[in-house]
Chains A and B, each alone.
Chain A
Amino acid sequence: MTAESRTTAGVHDLVVVGAGPAGLAAALAARARGLDVVVVDEQQQPGGQIFRRPSGGLTAAGHRWPAGYPWGPDLLARAAASDVTWRPRTTALGVLRGEAGTPLRLAVSGPDGPDALAAHRLLVATGAYDMPVALPGWTLPGVVTAGAAQGLLKSQRVLVGHRPVLVGAHPLLLLVADQLVAAGAHVAEVVLARGVPGPAEAVRALPAAPGHVGLLAASTAAVGRLLRAGVRIRTRTLPTRVLGEDRVEGVELRRVDSAWRPVGPARTVAADAVVLGFGFHASTELARQAGCATRWDGAGGGWVVTHDGAQRTSVPDVLVAGEPAGVRGAEQARAEGHLAGLVAARDLGAAVTGRDLDRAHRAVARARRFSDVVQRVFAPDLTGLTALATPGTLVCRCESVTRATVERTLAANPHVSTANAVKLECRTGMGTCQGRYCEATVGALVERATGRPMDQVGPFTAHLPVKPVPLAELAALGELAAAPPEPAPSTPAPCAPVPATHLP
């Protein structure tokens, strides 16, 4: 990927936010049909969360590609070899608009400062993040998400702890435990709210998409290795408290019933890190700020962006692909991205055959059959998870707001029945993470207190900037967006090609 821009009068055809499977597949599909494409991502390397890789001197140790995604290395290699414009370490801040009919401007902040990319089409491929679960002690140093533990290991070759305990409900947790053990950690215990995905689940998934059984097979193999390494795997168990003063020292666990309610006595396991892996939450702030319609999908990542079946959102020049449209895994993300790239290309007048589109739609449908199964089997019990937060548990990490404060507010104001109203009153969501880590919990508490369905409770409104930016930079962004689009100066940015040794 290159940093040279070949825009027409400074307006790109397609700007893609997110360099994971969806974003890269879209960029390649669109570029292959002649579109000028820019890919923006916060990370230094493309690949998203699923394909996080080491950089610089850390590549010497080599790395293993995640099992179940044989197309990964090829996708990244093709991306590296393409002449799509690549903007790494660049944060998308939001969409700004001028007069009706003019191209949107995507405000971004990168290593060289702010920019306002003009584009005929924007693709939101911003992925997902580990589902926040508020439980006592979850803010202690040493509590991390499964994605963090995995990312630290894969891209940094750092173990988050020597004696981690992993707790959660998602099969990813087993893979992470396996990776941590292989890297030398003493995983004391892996705890799952439900059961271990066993042969029965694998068999059920077979008719869906034979090629994807690899993922479930990988988790079954991981279980075997973990047991052989002496790791305790406990099912029907949830964490009820993380212990420690200034850092993690242990975790309290309890057996739960099928409704995820604690039923057994509490027991404590010593640990220096607690890894939480309950599922994923779609990253939709950018799409929502751009005005895209959303709907609530509790099992599929929370608030997800709706689209017309061809990845077009409710906003005419914005498309969505991958997890923001519903958390369904990397295979479906790739298929949706590919479709989105074709659709964007066709909408902008490029030659895209009906056959190409049909094939792309079928690939999405195929991926969807498998992801439907996985989603059903591993859907988290949100009610059970919300119940883990005690009155004194921080629901909003950034503003240090407890569950008790939120519930007191709801009790004192029975006329309050939206997440936004709670945000305004209690400050939940008014901190630096901008509500990413408390929105779902606050929504659940409002739902519980008022009996209103989630689509009435609503999310927090997403605003520009969707990630914080200094006020002086915001001023510059306004100026850039107010000025007519100009071609970007071509200063080549280093692009990390995939070393040959890493290709299968």
Chain B
Amino acid sequence: MSGAVDGGPRAGRVAGPRGAGFALRVDGRDVTAYDGESIAAALLAGGVEAFRTTADGEARAPFCHMGTCFECVVRVNGRSLRACLTPATPGDDVGRVDEREPDERRAG
């Protein structure tokens, strides 16, 4: 497997058969997802490092991947959802939240 600490994608998919792949739209760019994956898994495997940014400018990413830490909350088709509990669906429009920005870039 390619090195990780040199700045490349950190997370990666394990080799093996998968179903249909499709695109998620994440902050305007396409990220691949496969049938059966959570949005969190697809984003991680797609090289998305920061799922949200705090008011202090800190990048955060999934911590528990079971729905208790709420670090993975993103806007999915207009709703605030935990990415780790949300199955990726073709056409999903995913937006990350940066708490430093007003209004439309923030949750709510």
A residues touching B (Cβ–Cβ < 8 Å)? Answer: 42-44, 49, 54-61, 89, 91, 129-130, 139-145, 147-148, 151-153, 155-163, 183-186, 246-250, 270-273, 283, 397-398, 400, 431-433, 436-437, 467-468, 470
Contacts and interface: CB of A to CB of B under 8 A. Distances in A.
Interface in B39-96: 41, 44-45, 49-51, 54-56, 58-71, 73, 80, 85, 87
Given A186-B1, A431-B70, 5 more contacts: A56-B36, A159-B14, A184-B14, A246-B59, A270-B5
A contact patch SS:
loop
Most buried by A among B55, B68, B87: B68
Contacts of B5: 163, 249-250, 270-272
A148 B62 contact: yes
B11 A159 contact: yes
A367 to B, nearest CB: 23
15 contacts: A55-B36, A57-B19, A57-B35, A58-B19, A129-B66, A141-B50, A142-B49, A148-B64, A156-B36, A159-B14, A162-B10, A185-B1, A271-B5, A432-B73, A436-B68
B73 A148 contact: no
B29 interface: no
Given A58-B19, A272-B4, A141 B38 contact: no
B18 A57 contact: yes
Contacts of B28: none
Interface residues of B, number: 48
A156 B64 contact: no
Contacts of B51: 141
B102 interface: no
A272 B71 CA distance: 18
B66 A147 contact: yes
Contacts of B55: 400
Contacts of A185: 1
B13 A157 contact: yes
9 nearest A-B residue pairs (beta carbon) = A57-B19, A56-B36, A272-B4, A57-B35, A141-B61, A58-B36, A156-B41, A148-B65, A162-B4
Contacts, number: 164
Contacts of A153: 14
A57 B34 contact: yes
A156 B10 contact: no
Interface in B1-30: 1-5, 10-20
A120 to B, nearest CB: 28
B44 A42 contact: no
B65 A151 contact: yes
Contact of A158 (B4, B41, B66): B41
Nearest to A57: B19
Contacts of A152: 11, 41, 44, 65
B contact patch SS:
loop
B7 to A, nearest CB: 9
B24 to A, nearest CB: 14
Given A61-B18, A158-B14, A184 B36 contact: no
Given A158-B11, A158-B13, A161-B4, A58 B18 contact: yes
Nearest to A468: B70
A142 B61 contact: yes
Contacts of B1: 162, 184-186
Nearest to B68: A129
Nearest to A156: B41
Contact of A246 (B50, B63, B70): B50
Contacts of A148: 62-66
Nearest to B55: A400
B35 A42 contact: no
Nearest to B13: A158
A101 B75 CA distance: 41
Contact of B10 (A49, A155, A247): A247
A437 B62 CA distance: 13
Nearest to B2: A162
A142 B35 contact: no
Contact of A159 (B12, B35, B37, B49): B12
Given A49-B66, A158-B13, A272-B5, A58 B34 contact: yes
Contacts of A159: 11-14
Contacts of A61: 14, 16-18
